[in-house]
A and B are shown apart, each in its own frame.
Chain A
Amino acid sequence: MKRVIHGIAILVILALIIWKVAQAMALLKADDSYPAKPIEIVIPYDAGGGSDSFVRPLIKVIADESWIDEPFVVLNQPGGSGTIGSRLVKEARPDGYRILCHHESMITAELSGAADFGPADFEVVAQTGEIVLLIIVREDAPYETIVDLLEAAKQSPETIRFGANIGSPAHFTAMNLEAAHPGAKFNLVTSGGGQTRYTEIIGQHLDAGIFSLAEYLKFRSPEGTPADRNIRVLACLSEKPHPELNGVRTCVEQGVEVTSSNAYYWWAPKGTPLEVQELIASTLKEAMQHPEVRERLVEQAIDPTFSTGEAVRTRVADRVELLESFAAEAESELPNFTVYITIVTLVLLIVVVVSSLRHRGELPDRESLDVKRGILCLAALTTYVALLEFAPLPFFLLSALLVFFLGALICGWEKKRFPIMAEIALIAGLGAEFVFGSFFGVSLP
């Protein structure tokens, strides 16, 4: 029985080694004209989010139609309101293998101080798709037009609770509205994602908020729903009325000179060659016209606009100029939570220390722990991660070594267990690369 298991284990290891060698051979054969390897598209948000759902159909069509020799692959790098993923591309080599898809938060993140870089640190390759923004109130709200709302905000300033995350494009739009109707002042309330904003408008914790067209279509309940459980569009922020919203007038039509929208832009690291940028832009242009993509865009209520070259550069410059004029420091009267929590933690720490000094000797149960072994284990782990980060050694080799070393450490260097542990280590190292790399699309370090 044991022999059979060993036999299977060795066969598995051989198969995995063959797979690994074949992969290495394929890499050697590749030539060096652009693109010689897959192009990574960084999405600075989670898989399944708005940006992700926008990009994935595009990528799929590009791979299906093979307009370009190598496929585009998605790398989700969420966090920090999009600044983590953006920074990754900003610091990437300008060779066209790492491109960012990010909307106007790129501009507002710099203006609000969340990031110390902005559009000027990138080459903007293209703009694809435009998100229509709307101003939403509860169905039974007393305002009929955007002017009613702004007038109310002028009559009693700082009482109309307007949902907009501080520093987000919506926040800048709100300031834009205030400026268009002198004297109007909203009480800006931070309000998370569309879901939270919806719940708070229905529960009357917010008086108005900015939603995308897609969010509105999703949240709008059918005709006949009680007025206190539904939402209504006050105005549309696009330049022209939108066909999906019959009868809803734009802000401009209602006499308030504000237009605003959000769009997805494709950014390359500064210094990326022009011909690479053009190749990517032309591929994207073709993808945007593909019927499959069009269908998905209709579902997501995104307008299929496209611009590149000088047109997109002017567009970004215009948006930066407009948003900059409202770049008032986000005023915050909020308590400084960081300081409070630090103080509370320190006070509790003192209480714990004092009480354990007073009750010293009441906790006699000491387990016998081999500290030396723990330190060795930790050192092995630290070395492993450091090598992954800094040394160009293959992942499977390092991992197999780590697994073997830790196993030997735990069993106290018992020689008779070494063969089994070597098998486990090789299967774990190679297997992890095979399973995660091929099935889950995780790009290992």
Chain B
Amino acid sequence: MPVQEAISQLCSPIGLFIIVLGTTLGVFVGAIPGLTGTMLIALALPLTYGQDTGLAMMLLISIYVGAISGGMISSTLLRMPGTPASIVTTLDGYPLAKGGKPERALSLGVMASFMGGMISWGFLVLLSKPVAQLSTKFGPFEYFSLVMMALVLIASIGGKSLSRSLFAGALGILFSMPGISPATGQPRLTLGFPALNDGFELVPVLVGMFAVNQILKETMSGGTIPKAIELGKKRILPRWKDFTSHLINMIRSSVIGTWIGILPGIGANIGSVTAYAVARSTSKESEKFGTGHEPGIVAAEASNNATIGGALIPLIAMGIPGSVVEAVLLGALVLHGLQPGPRLFTDSPVVVYTIMGAMFLANVVMVIVMFGSMRFLARMASIPRAYLLPVILLFCVIGSFALSNRLFDVWVMLGFGVLGFLLEKVKIPLAPFVIGFVLWPIAETKLSAGLMSTNGDWLPILTRPISATFIVMAMVMLLIPPMRSRFQRKGAES
């Protein structure tokens, strides 16, 4: 029985050790501002080569869960979001902590994170198999349209300016093109470097964009950070009353987080913004939000953890990543010789159940780690950067090198570090870049296969119903932001 096999792997001493290790690492890295889960997962990925697939996925998933949860600590105590997912937590977490209740803020956050994780886990278990079966209906054109919709989705929601986001996405696509063309097998855009026959690898690009870029920024800004708010001696564990009084908010925010997570391309930060907005607009005391109001913390933390389970659904069922972290997880599965999709459930059911089980256990471990080491974590958030960043940089070099044992990838990492820094400097968001970079090869392969089977006819993109639906949705999303700003301007004029 695959379920039993997965459970025995998860509960074996090495399995539990990996989950505890991954979750703890994730929480700690998440708690330190500037270090993100994406960075840690990208660094951990090369280390899992040659190791057992189940163990590798357990490590990566538990880091993911830990990092999204750990981010709340620096958001609350330093007003610096530890990870992008916890930006919204600063809105109410910091004021509440500043007002003398840091223990209360963190306690509610951990409780909400746990509930968010568990509710979305339920959706993951229930929905991934039906979605996987549905996806056999998807031919090349459907996949292409779905990927294009994901690209537009992240561009239209992710950044402040639509044109900048679209440009970032297009640039990401452009950088994914050098190498062997997926359709014809010919090398292209290699600029005469044989090393570019394989194009730019995902790991050095990600590590460069997120880690090296961050290190450059921190180096320039001096590496000093403000002193964190200190924890008092008050009770940290939540009480039963806290649970019941926030239950409705937690369930609502978790469901919103899960569904936003399922949408391809957008991740935890959008999920928490949406859930927070909904919590505010349905509240009777909406004016209190942003001043240290408890339901604000609960909504933000429940929803950002809920996006994990949501985003895993399209990843497992169709091989379409739901966020940047998922893109790395997709890379991990492929590196271990597994192709997510409907066959994954029949070919490697153990891996599927291990992924699901790992998310469940990591959530439990996260609560224990967070409550158990809360005071220590609060001090961790203000470690001097001079000690931390150089060592992380060394890990970046090794991580990029270990991928395929060549220094070329380390140069690529450096190059993308500078590129990421420059792009952010001119306010071009990085998320659409990465999503474009990851999704385009899938889109191009599918589109090529589709065009080859119809002898060059593009029409099926619009005539096949599922494909047409995606294209229409993409167009609508592309048109909404300009229309809205136009209406707003008109409203302001009259």
Enumerate chain A interface residues (CB-CB to B < 8 A).
46-49, 53, 75-81, 83-84, 87-88, 112-115, 158, 161, 165-168, 187-193, 195-196, 198-200, 202-203, 205-206, 218-219, 221, 330, 332-335, 337-338, 341-342, 344-345, 348-349, 351-352, 355-356, 363, 367-371, 373-374, 377-378, 381-382, 384-385, 388-389, 399, 402-412, 414, 417, 420-421, 424-425, 428-429, 432, 436, 440-445
Contact = CB atoms under 8 A, between A and B. Distances in A.
Which of A83, A88, A410 gathers most chain B CB within 10 Å?
Answer: A410
Contacts of A414: 386
A345 B219 contact: no
A385 B390 contact: no
Interface residues of B, number: 91
A79 B404 contact: yes
A199 B216 contact: no
A108 to B, nearest CB: 9
A113 B170 contact: no
A88 B408 CA distance: 12
Nearest to A436: B398
A189 B428 CA distance: 37
B99 interface: no
Contacts of B384: 411, 417
Given A87-B194, A369-B217, A410 B386 contact: yes
A173 to B, nearest CB: 15
Interface in B332-382: 334-337, 339, 341-343, 346-347
B226 interface: no
Interface in B179-225: 179-180, 182-189, 194-195, 197-199, 201, 212, 215-223
Contact of A167 (B171, B184, B401): B184
A436 B395 CA distance: 10
B453 A161 contact: yes
A124 to B, nearest CB: 22
B456 to A, nearest CB: 5
B215 A199 contact: no
30 contacts: A47-B49, A48-B49, A79-B404, A81-B180, A83-B197, A83-B198, A87-B194, A114-B197, A158-B455, A166-B183, A190-B449, A200-B140, A219-B343, A219-B347, A221-B346, A332-B184, A338-B177, A341-B170, A369-B220, A370-B221, A371-B220, A381-B393, A388-B407, A389-B407, A409-B219, A412-B222, A424-B390, A432-B398, A441-B50, A442-B398
A227 B187 CA distance: 40
Given A373-B219, A410-B390, A436 B402 contact: yes
Given A369-B221, A406-B393, 9 more contacts: A47-B336, A83-B180, A83-B194, A113-B186, A195-B347, A219-B343, A377-B215, A388-B410, A417-B386
Contacts of A341: 170, 173-174, 177
Which of A218, A337, A405, A444 gathers most chain B CB within 10 Å?
Answer: A337
Contacts of B428: 352
A410 B186 contact: no
B4 interface: no
A374 B220 contact: yes
B453 A205 contact: yes
B451 interface: yes
A348 B433 CA distance: 13
A112 B189 contact: no
Interface string B35-74: 0000000000011011001000000000000000000000
Given A84-B197, A84-B404, A406-B389, A381 B136 contact: no
A114 B452 contact: no
Contact of B197 (A80, A335, A420): A80
Contact of A166 (B53, B138, B185): B185
Contacts of B215: 377
Interface stretch (B161-169, B245-253, B257-265, B277-285): B161-169
Given A338-B188, A378-B216, A407-B390, A199 B342 contact: yes
Given A195-B341, A407-B387, A428-B390, A79 B50 contact: no
A330 B53 contact: no
Contacts, number: 266
B174 A345 contact: yes
Interface string B443-455: 0110011011101
Nearest to B138: A203
B316 to A, nearest CB: 14
B406 interface: yes
A334 B448 contact: yes
A112 B186 contact: yes
Contacts of A335: 451
Contacts of B163: 348, 351-352, 355
A195 B197 contact: no
Contacts of A202: 136
A385 B452 contact: no
A338 B189 contact: yes
Nearest to A188: B452
Interface string B303-334: 00000000000000000000000000000001
Contacts of B198: 78-80, 83-84
A203 B139 contact: yes
A112 B394 contact: no
Contacts of A405: 390
Contact of A410 (B47, B212, B219, B451): B219
Interface string B127-152: 00000000011111000000000000
Given A205-B140, A378-B216, A79 B197 contact: yes
Contact of B404 (A78, A190, A402): A78
A330 B185 contact: yes
B438 interface: no
B167 A48 contact: no
Which of B184, B418, B426 gathers most chain A CB within 10 Å?
Answer: B184
B106 interface: no
Interface in B443-494: 444-445, 448-449, 451-453, 455-456
Nearest to A198: B343
Contacts of A83: 180, 187, 194, 197-198
Contact of B335 (A47, A77, A206, A338): A47
Contacts of B227: none
Contact of A189 (B171, B411, B426, B453): B453
A189 to B, nearest CB: 5
Nearest to A363: B427
Given A49-B337, A195-B339, A200 B398 contact: no
Which of B49, B212, B347 gathers most chain A CB within 10 Å?
Answer: B49
Contacts of A158: 455
A50 B370 CA distance: 42
A330 B220 contact: no
B385 interface: yes
Contact of A348 (B166, B197, B390): B166
Which of B173, B212, B220 gathers most chain A CB within 10 Å?
Answer: B220
B405 interface: yes
Contacts of A200: 139-140, 449
A440 B399 CA distance: 11
A44 to B, nearest CB: 10
B335 A48 contact: yes
Contacts of A424: 387, 390-391
Contacts of B174: 341-342, 345
A405 B386 CA distance: 10
Contacts of A342: 174
A77 B402 CA distance: 10
Nearest to B189: A338
A167 B185 contact: yes
A273 to B, nearest CB: 25
Given A195-B343, A338-B177, A440-B47, A330 B197 contact: no
Given A46-B337, A337-B177, A76 B185 contact: no
A224 B185 CA distance: 39
A342 B188 CA distance: 13
A160 B413 CA distance: 44
Given A200-B139, A203-B139, A409-B219, A333 B390 contact: no
